[in-house]
Chains A and B, each alone.
Chain A
Amino acid sequence: MRAIALVDCNNFYVSCERLFQPKLEGKPVVVLSNNDGCVVSRSQEVRDLGIRMGVPWFQLKDLAKRHGIIALSSNYALYADISNRVMRLLSQCCPGQEIYSIDESFLDLTGMADLTAYAQTIRSTVKQCVGIPVCVGIAPSKTLAKLANHVAKKHKQFHGVCDFNTMTTRVMDNLLAKIEVGEVWGVGRQSTGRLQQMGIGSVLELKYGPAKRVRAEFGVVMERIVAELNGEACIGLDEVTPPRRQIICSRSFGMYVSSLDDLEQAVIAYTTRAAEKLRDQQSLAGGIQVCIRTNPHKEKDPQHQPSMLLPLFEPTDDTRLLCRAALSGLRQIYRSGYAYQKAGVILTEIIPATARPRTLFEDAAAQQRSASLMATLDRINRRMGSGTMQLLGEGVRKGWAMRRGNVSQRYTTEWGELAVVR
């Protein structure tokens, strides 16, 4: 039987914060999204208070005061480094790994003996070496492994490891009967509603549901989910993430922005970041879309949400060319007199750098210069810290930059911000 494990870090961002601030242990802690908008990670104490994921922080302020909830801004430099450590450790535990997200990884443990004990070893190794608590779910398919992990997290008696492969069908079905169908990987909110109308409320009911009707109503994707629930592995392990077809970089500002100058700085900053990602995966972009928008939740304020797609003369990964295109788009869509809240750029028509089409007017020497300039830029920023070298147009003051009121130190990526011991 196949054995797929899903290793998932427990309230990952909060766990990273606690690693370097042990006094947060046992206290209710939340981590907030960019600009301290809403809750993106909750400690168990906060879950127990009934606070849901994604709640806007301003709605919680009273509750927070009453229960002494500590709110931290997100510190992605720290989370990324800790995530890399966890993922590399996990890759040493098994022959096949798919990194699914910043805090989740599928492992292929097929053919290995005594998996429940092995999963406990994985848990204690990650906890000891990186200090992050994880739970492990094991099953014959990825969809079931996700559910096994859900069980491992919810029920204390499993001690963080739930192995469906060692259970009888009856025991497993009993567990699946208690999980809502919306928890299934790939079943969205809309499908959940429609499934419930068909009388399918629990995972178990979907597993043994009317296969033909489900297929007719929802198509092959849902049929595949049902097969996976029945222990048939239909979704393979993606060990290498395919290069992205679209690269998006968009963020809300720390405050409302209405001048073209500030917007230009932000667009240059986001384009720079997107171009870095593009070069990272060795691709070229054939077009760039730029968009800005006012706050859609402030219905009384005048609204303006334009965007524009700009084709490039030839596919490129040069920050300067991409910025030039993005800026010309921005200048065309910008209207004064609006309070903009967010800007973004999307790189489109992405092709591998090796597939660069030849054109009649191309300038090989200029391409060479651009390639070596970009490579140097990336090397400097990787070694000296991101943003060490940037286009001047990005600005130095950055009044529009993210608001992060209570961000912790970058304990593992900045010499000046190490943890201090007495």
Chain B
Amino acid sequence: MLPSIHSGRTGRQTRRTARGLLSLTHPNKELFRRQRALLRGAVPAGFPSPADDYVEQRISLDEHLIQHRESTFFMRVAGDSMRGLGIFDGDLLVVDRALPAEHGCVVIAVLDGEFTVKQLLHTAEGRVLRSAHPGYADMLIKPEQDFAIWGVVSWNIHKV
């Protein structure tokens, strides 16, 4: 009953019925008063909330961060190799497998059977995985290497 998603009239009618029922059957006046206050969001009795007609679904992070529900996965970062792009140890990555792995994307790659998060570059010599940390050199992917793009990182969630 609380966050009424009914629009306008229907919502008000339902509330009235609920209150009517309560007042008829509830022997405990004090409890009834408290319940009513809860049900009605502390608006004085008798007047419907002027916001009733404007109730909308609350904004959701899922909706904001997830473009494709079926192809989105979460992964946990270990290490500092991407800190130059604002991705730190312990951060939470939102990974979408449906996105194309374009030049400059941050991707989850599988290199010799292990997951790695790096920036992907398409160069004349071939594909390169670049870290965002001065201590790590670029990695040119050799043809004989076992390499695949697992997904594209669409967001990084960092605890402040």
A421 at interface by CB-CB < 8 Å: yes
Is there contact, CB below 8 Å, between B78 and A420?
yes
- Highest count of chain A CB atoms <10 Å: which of B70, B73, B117: B70
- Interface assignment of B98: CB less than 8 Å from any CB of chain A: yes
- The answer for the CA separation of A129 and B150 in the assembled complex, in Å, is 10
A88 within 8 A of B: yes
Judging by beta carbons under 8 Å apart, are B78 and A422 in contact? yes
Q: In this complex, what residue of A is CB-closest to B69?
A: A88
Across the interface, do A131 and B97 meet the contact criterion of CB distance under 8 Å? yes
Report chain B residues within 8 Å CB of A111: none
Q: Which residues of A contact B77 (CB under 8 A)?
A: 420-422
Q: How far is the CB of B100 from chain A (nearest CB, A)?
A: 10
B115 close to A422 (CB less than 8 A):
yes
**Chain A interface, number of residues (Cβ within 8 angstroms):** 18
Interface contact A421-B97, CB-CB below 8 Å: no
Q: Mark B105-143, 1 if CB is under 8 A from A, else 0.
A: 000101001111100000000000000000000000000
0 or 1 for each of B70-109: is its CB under 8 Å from A? (1 = yes) = 1101111111010000000000110001100000000010
In the complex where A85-B71, A89-B70, A129-B71 touch, is A419 in contact with B115 (Cβ < 8 A)? yes
- Choose one: A25, A130, A421; the contact of B115 (CB below 8 Å): A421
Tell me, yes or no, whether A411 is within 8 Å of chain B by CB.
yes
Q: Roughly how many angstroms separate A86 CA and B113 CA in the complex, as a whole number? A: 24
Q: When the two chains form their complex, are residues B73 and A421 in contact, meaning their CB atoms are under 8 A apart? A: no
Q: Are B117 and A422 in contact (CB-based, < 8 A)?
A: yes
Size class of B's contact patch?
20 to 34
Interface SS of chain B: helix, strand, loop or mixed? strand
What residues of chain A lie closer than 8 Å to B69, measured between beta carbons? 88
Closest to A26 in B: B146
Closest to B77 in A: A421
- Beyond A23-B113, A422-B78, A422-B117, is A129–B73 a contact (Cβ under 8 Å)? no
Residues of B within 8 A of A86 (CB): 70
CB of A258 closer than 8 Å to a CB of B? no
Residues of B within 8 A of A22 (CB): 110, 113-115, 148, 150
A412 within 8 A of partner (CB): yes
Contact A422 B79 (CB under 8 A): yes
Please give, as numbers and ranges, the residues of chain A lying within 8 Å of B92 by CB-CB distance: 418
> In the complex, are the beta carbons of B114 and A420 less than 8 A apart?
no
Q: Contacts of B79 on A, CB cut-off 8 Å? A: 422
Closest A-chain residue to B80, C-beta based?
A422
The answer to whether the Cβ of B158 comes within 8 Å of any Cβ in the partner chain is no
Q: Closest 3 A-B residue pairs measured CB to CB?
A: A23-B113, A129-B71, A22-B110
Known: A25-B113, A25-B146, A411-B73. 10 other contacts (CB 8 A): A22-B150, A89-B71, A128-B98, A130-B71, A131-B97, A131-B150, A418-B74, A419-B75, A420-B78, A422-B117
| Interchain Cβ contacts under 8 Å between A and B, 20 examples | A22-B115, A23-B113, A88-B69, A88-B70, A128-B71, A128-B97, A129-B70, A129-B98, A130-B97, A412-B73, A412-B74, A420-B77, A420-B115, A421-B77, A421-B108, A421-B115, A422-B77, A422-B78, A422-B114, A422-B116
